[in-house]
Every structure is written in structure tokens, then in C-alpha cells.
Structure 1
Amino acid sequence: MLKDPTLFKGKNILLTGGTGSFGHAFVRMTLEQHEPNKIIILSRDEMKQWEMAKLFQTDQRVRFFIGDVRDRERLYRAMNGVDYVVHAAASKIVPTAEYNPFECVKTNINGAMNVIDAAIDNGVQHVVALSTDKASSPVNLYGATKLASDKLFVAGNSYAGGDGTRFSVVRYGNVMGSRGSVIPFFMSIKNEGILPITDPRMTRFMITLDQGVELVWHAFEDMVGGEIYVKKIPSMKVTDIARVLAPNAETKVVGIRPGEKLHEQMVGAEDALHTYEYNDHYKILPSIHNWDTTSERIKDGRKVAEDFVYSSDNNPDWMTEDALASWIDANRGKIGAI
């Protein structure tokens, strides 16, 4: 929850890539709990916009704007009069990025530069960009492009000047129940009697969509510029997820896909020198301009150990099978729907 409940009151918010799982949750929660003037959804898929518009057809605060973050001029038009931007648009399917690297770069890197330029030139107050665990010590192209994107948004604060637009990043991993993720995938094939497991040692972070939205809200309220926010969330072994979803099914080890990691990592050892811990999150501060030493960014944070790594396999917090089963029962109708 926000310390200042009026943060979004009367404000205009633009959400790039807003027809995905995060966008649906962000719009619903922000409309319910805050009083924005309007939320603008920018995306390139008119069918997804049409389907989403039906869900919010009675709320005139929700607007839709066909466009692509690759299109700089369209972004300039979309950001006219906008106060806050949430940048969620990305090419994010790991195998697709491995086989179509040029397209991934155009969206994730060129698109990020376009968002930064358009936000600065339109006088946007704050921009929060969504990142991924794969940007930490990346081993695949998607992760590498998101690391580059993160660096661009951090440096955007220098680019904007002292009193200009502020940019920050939020980073999290596997979103529970989102379209294309492991839970709906296992649920869709569990009746076949065999679940494919890439590696029995594999672990994943577990975050809900609501938690992802709340982290973005927190970033808007807390940011000075250049911070990367990492939510503290539990981990779970993929084999345990399979057992909860299909206790009678067999498992078959099929091997790790191209570009896939055995464990998710949010904060690497190289970032530890600039990372601070808080009650429910970590914050990686930018090393440029000595911004990692400023009290206004550190606030009440505690410096982590020099060898600190926040990974899904060394996480002190683990989700139990009973907790996952309870979550599935409570959210069964929404899993994989968006």
C-alpha cells in the first residue's frame, strides 16, 4: 500500500504493453484503490485491446492507443499530457528471442530509448520500467537486452538533467499463473499423466500479479531516480510445483531449453556493492555519479554483504506445497487467462 494514497489522484498514467497479465492487474488495482484521471493502454495488438476494453467498458478513465514502442513518433503522441509511465512492453519469450535476436533488440533496447526520449521531451514526471530476473548475470539474449534496457533507464536520469523526468526499474521473476508460465502449462497437460521437467534441481521465484503491481506503486512513491527495486518473494522447486498440480502424474526430465537458467537470480554478486536491504524488498542503487552513496536514495536501507547473491536456490524463504495449493484454489478461474 502507498504511504501517500493521493499519489495517483487526478494523474494521467500511460502503460506500454498494457494488454498483458501485468497490465490487466495494474489497471484493475489502480482503478479500484486510487483515483487516476485516466490510464492509457499503449500496445500493438488491436484484438487484445478489444478484449480488454470489454472488461473496462463502463469506466471512462481507461483509454486505448494502438502503437509500438519501436515507433518513436507514436510514443511522443501517446505521452502528451501524461504524468506517469509504466513501461511493460517487451519481447520476452526466451526461445523466441534466441532465434529472432534482431527483433528482440528492436523492441527491448531501441524501444527503451524511444520511451526515455519521449518521456523527457513530454515532461513526464516519473517512469518505472519492468525488468526481469534474467537481466541479472544474463545467459540468454532476452536477459542481455533487458540488462541493456535497465542500464538505459538508470542513465536516463542523467540524460534528463537535474530537474527532469525520473526513471527507475522494478525486477521480478516468474509470475504465478500468468499466461505461458509453468503453472497453467502443467495444468493444461496434467491429465496426460506425464509432466516434462527440464531439470529436477530447477527452482523459481514465486510472485503474484498483485505483488508485482504493488512493487511498481512503491517504486513511484519511493524513487529518486536510478534505483532497481527487487521484491522479497518465496522460491519453489519445479518438481514440487508439479507434485501439487498433478500428484499422480509421472515426471520426465527433458533437459534445459536454449537460454534457460537452472535458477533465477535477482541480485548478482557484482550488484552487491550497491545493494541495500529493506523489510520487504532490496534496492540496487546506481553506481554512476556516486548515487549509491546518497542518503536520499538509501533512506533506512541496510547494506548487504559483499558476497550477497539473491537467487531462487539460496533464498531463505520457500513456499510450501500447501501454500501453493491454497493459492491455486483461490485463483483457479484466473490462472492462464491473461
Structure 2
Amino acid sequence: MIWKNMEVLITGGTGSLGKALTKLLLEKCHPHGIRIFSRDELKQWEMKQTLKDQPVSFLIGDIRDRKRLELACKGVNILIHAAALKQVVASEDNPLETINTNIIGSQNILYAALENKIDKVIGISTDKAVLPINLYGATKLCMEKLFIKGNTYSGQRSPRFSICRYGNVIGSRGSVISLFKEQTKTGTFTITDPKATRFWISLKKVAQFIIDRIEKMKGGEIFVPKMPSCEIGEIANAINPNAGIKVIGLAQGEKAHEVLVTSEEAERTEIHGDYYIITNQKLKDRQTYKYDSLHNIWKLSKKEIQTIIMEKTI
């Protein structure tokens, strides 16, 4: 795929992932232009200061505003949909806002892509969307369903819609690692459940994964990278083994362990080296397994966790 003639739009582009994608696209892909679509003018201004003389434009807008989104997408070839309300507890407390942003906003992405005949659209999803028990996960599941079914409306033509689904991101705002680093000042870590497990991936690696999948996507796929996992308590111990631990219990809607591929999805999942492709069709050679953070064979050691936290390398 040749990026140099491509116009790329990233919703939620001032977030951690949007910044990582922009940096990587500029360094390696050299697209014709990148459009950052987001609501916060201060974050846009701050990001703009780091990208002087780069082919990046900034558009203030909300994905809940269909007309604004359709206008912003004119002339766009690739759309990366990363905008969302992501905090589990905040989503539980603000269900209307979460639904309007994560579901209605994603529906507007679908309309804007079809209206402007964008070549490729990739939605950013989460392990919370798999067998969801919280509103955030449920809205992300709806986004996945909207995008996969979106291919029906374009037939064999553009746009093509696919999904990237993954776990927790090291270096992203609001992660448990960021919380623990902040709490080192107090000497006590607040932990929901030390035995709870999570999948982990670095911003740089997930950004590269998304770009690679955009280049290869045909439409209708859910792409899942293979990721290591570990217990939350092990992360706390790796950051500061002498810190006190205050167990506060799992929050409303929070799972002890996460799933990236269900046993039902496994029957239609292809394994490609370091990632999975969940398709719409059951495979002839069906496999029965569940890819979850508890039984994941790729477990992180204490030394690996410390290296990852320092270098954000996985």
C-alpha cells in the first residue's frame, strides 16, 4: 500500500494512541496529510506545537455531530476511529453520554465514511468488548458490530470496515501503571484485586499493529494481537516491592480477568504468527480455545515488567 498519496483522519487524535499513530505515520509512512479530529482545542494546540512544518491539520469537532464529521471526512482515504469515552466507572455513571459518544458517534463514522466513499476505516476496540459486563464494553461491542456490518452497505466497493481489538496499553493516560507510578509518592498502592490479570501492549507496538493491519485489511476482520499478561499485584511489586498494598475490591463492571477471543469466536479465527484474525465464517479446521488473560501462556516475569515499564517495549 502506498501511503504518500493518502489523506488520513484520526478521531480522538490528541489522545495517547492518536499521538503515537501520528508520530509513526509521519516517520515511516509519509502520507499526503493527517487530520486530527477531536473536541479539545487546548490538546490540539499542545500537539500542534510538537508538529511544526508537518502535513498535519487540526479539526475541532465531535463525532456526535454527523454533519461536522461528514465535512471533516471529505477527501479522506483512511479513517482511524479512536475517539471514545473509555473510563469504565465514568461510563457507568454517565450512560447517556457514553452511548451517544461510543455508539451514536460510531454510527456517524459509518455514515460519514459511506457518504465520502473513504477507502478504509478501522475501529479501535478493546478486550472490554468481549463478553461485556460494563457499559463501556457493551458500547464497544456495538461499535464492532456496526463496523463489521458496515461492509454490507458498500458491497464490493469502498469503504471497507475492520476492527483492531487489544488489551491495556502501557503509557496511555489513566492506566493502572500510571496510577501506581503516581502513588509511589505516598508509599501505598490501591489495588482492586492483586490476582486480577490484564493483557499488556506498548503504544508504539499497538500503533504499528494498526498501521500494518490497515495495509492488509480487506474488510470485515477483527484483528487481535498476541499479547502478554500478568497479575495486577505483580505490576505493583515490580514498581515498588516495599510499597504498602490497600485492596479496595473490583469496581462496578470490572472483571477479574479479560478475554480477547471467545471460544465461539475461536471457531472462526485464523492464527497468523503474532496475531489473530476473527472472521465471519466458521473455519473447516475449527479450534476450541479461549484467549484470556488468566490462561494466557505468555506471562510476564518481574524483570520483564520492570523493563517494559521503563522502556514501554512490548
TM range (shorter): over 0.9
- Quote the RMSD (CA, aligned, Å): 1.5
Partner of 1:296: none
TM-score (structure 1 length as normaliser): 0.90
Structure 2: segments with no counterpart, 5+ residues: none
Q: What is the CA deviation profile of residues 33-67 of structure 1, one whole-angstrom value per residue up to 9, with x for unaligned ones?
A: 111000000001111111111111231x0100001
In the alignment, is residue 44 of structure 1 matched against residue 39 of structure 2?
yes
Change (3 A) 1:303 1:50: farther
Which residue does the alignment assign to 1:193? Answer: 187
Percent of residue pairs identical: 44
Superposed displacement of residue 199, structure 1? 1.1
Q: Given the alignment of the two structures, is residue 203 of structure 1 paired with residue 201 of structure 2, yes or no?
A: no
Q: Is 1:159 matched with 2:141?
A: no
Query: Closer, same or farther in 2 for the Cα pair 1:158/1:247, shift >3 Å?
Result: same
Bigger drift between 115-124 and 192-201 goes to: 192-201
Letter in 1 for 2:305: L
Query: Residue 8 of structure 2 contacts residue 76 of structure 2 at CA under 8 Å; is this kept in 1?
Result: yes
Unpaired runs of 5+ residues, structure 1, are 294-301, 333-338
Deviations 1:134-158 (A, max 9, x none): 0000000000010011000000000
| Letter paired with 2:62 | D
Aligned to 1:271: 265
In the alignment, what sits opposite 1:328? 309
Contact 2:170 2:312 in 1 (8 A): no
CA 1:303–1:129 in 2, change beyond 3 Å: closer, same or farther?
farther
The alpha-carbon distance between structure 1 residues 126 and 329, as it changes in their structure 2 partners (threshold 3 A), is: same
**Post-superposition CA distance 1:240-293 (Å, at most 9, x none):** 100111111121211000111111111112212211111000111124xxxx56
Change in 2 beyond 3 A, CA 1:304/1:261: farther
Q: How does 1:252-271 map to 2 (within 5 A)?
A: 252-271=246-265
- CA positional deviation for 1:303: 5.2
Q: Counterparts of 1:1-338 in structure 2 under 5 Å?
A: 4=1, 7-59=2-54, 61-287=55-281, 305-306=287-288, 308-330=289-311
Deviation at 1:171, TM superposition (A): 0.3
**Helix, strand or coil: the match of 1:108?**
helix
SS of the equivalent of 1:191 reads coil
**Aligned counterparts of 2:42 and 2:132: Cα–Cα separation in 1:** 33
Distance 1:197 1:305 in 2: 36
Contact kept in structure 1, 2:170 and 2:309, CA below 8 Å = no
Residue 114 of structure 2 aligns with an amino acid whose one-letter code is I
Shift of 1:234: 0.5
Given that residues 277 and 303 in structure 1 are in contact (C-alpha distance below 8 angstroms), is that contact kept between their aligned partners in structure 2?
A: no
1:235–1:317 CA contact under 8 A, matched in 2: yes
Please list the CA deviations of residues 84-143 of structure 1 after superposition, one character each: whole Å capped at 9, or x if unmatched. Answer: 000000111100111111111111111111101111110100001000000000000000
Letter matched to residue 43 of structure 1: S
Which segments of structure 1 move beyond 2 Å, counting only runs of 4 or more? 327-332
Distance 1:235 1:8 in 2: 33
Counting matched residue pairs gives 313
Q: TM-score, normalised by structure 2?
A: 0.96
Is the Cα–Cα contact under 8 Å of residues 275 and 303 in structure 1 kept in the other structure?
A: no
Q: Distance in 1 between matches of 2:143 and 2:26?
A: 28
Q: Which stretch of structure 1 is more off in the superposition, 258-267 or 269-278?
A: 269-278
